[in-house]
Amino acid sequence: MRNKYSQTKPIAAILLLVLIVGMLGCSKGDSNIPASNDGTRTSDNKTAGTNEISFEYLYRGFTAVLLEDKKARASFDEVAGDRVILTEDDWQNYMANYCPGIPYYRDVDFTSECLIAITSTLAKPTYASFSPIRSISADNDTLYIEYNDDPSAYIYALNTDTVTHFCISIVIVNKDDLPNNMTDDWVYTK
């Protein structure tokens, strides 16, 4: 004897598959960051800087914000883009404001290391997505972040009628790898 739900399982599976395929298809090229010839995106029209920077992920994920919370949304707009965090105090302030309650499992030695926080405020009405960093480089006064443009590597968060998600990546880099003439708009301060 079949129960009343046995016919809905195949339909639900098909709808879920269509949703996933649709999201992957819509996500290709959904960034406002220009694409280079090799399928990667950088934070500038140039594909890379001359100084390759080694990095390690400290955090990659989302922060949920209520759509009605205009103050919180405005604060994310203020830090959107790439910001260098040079001190423990600024790091603690950034985490309290933009990643509250998010655990991290590695200490940062701010005497020789610093953080680069990449905050994206570009979300679709129904979902937010971002791809992993492929490389980081710099020249005199420009930081270049190259992203993997393979949709299967993207991370997604579904938005609701009341909540949107901001994408945040935080990486650890060696301070000596960054240009000496960083401008103030690179640096996050509390």
Mean per-residue pLDDT over the chain, rounded: 76
Strand duo 127-130 + 155-158: pairing = antiparallel
Question: pLDDT tens-digit profile of 72-103?
Answer: 888 888 888 889 999 999 999 999 989 888 88
Q: Give the per-residue pLDDT at 27.
A: 35
Rounded CA gap, 166 and 67, in Å?
11
Question: pLDDT tens-digit profile of 38-78?
Answer: 333 344 444 566 788 999 999 999 999 998 999 988 888 88
Burial class of residue 81 in the structure, from the number of CB atoms within 10 Å of its CB (0-12 exposed, 13-18 middle, 19+ buried): middle
Asked if 30 contacts 126 with a C-beta cutoff of 8 angstroms, the reply is no
Which region among 110-114, 121-125, 163-167 has the lowest average model confidence (pLDDT)?
A: 121-125
Q: Residue 34: is its pLDDT beyond 60?
A: no
Task: Count the alpha carbons within 13 Å of 11 in the hemisphere toward its beta carbon.
Answer: 4
Question: pLDDT tens-digit profile of 152-177?
Answer: 889 899 999 999 899 999 999 999 88
Strand duo 155-158 + 81-85: pairing = unpaired
In the chain, count of helices (H) and strands (E)?
A: 3, 9
Q: Which amino acid makes up residue 25?
A: G
Q: Averaged over 138-165, what is the pLDDT?
A: 87
> Which residue's structure tokens are 């985490």?
95
For the chain, what percent of residues have pLDDT higher than 90? Answer: 32
Q: Give the per-residue pLDDT at 77.
A: 85
Q: Which residue has the higher pLDDT, 126 or 55?
A: 55
Q: Give the per-residue pLDDT at 43.
A: 46
Report residue 24's pLDDT band, with 50, 70 and 90 as the boundaries. Answer: very low
Rounded CA gap, 69 and 129, in Å?
21
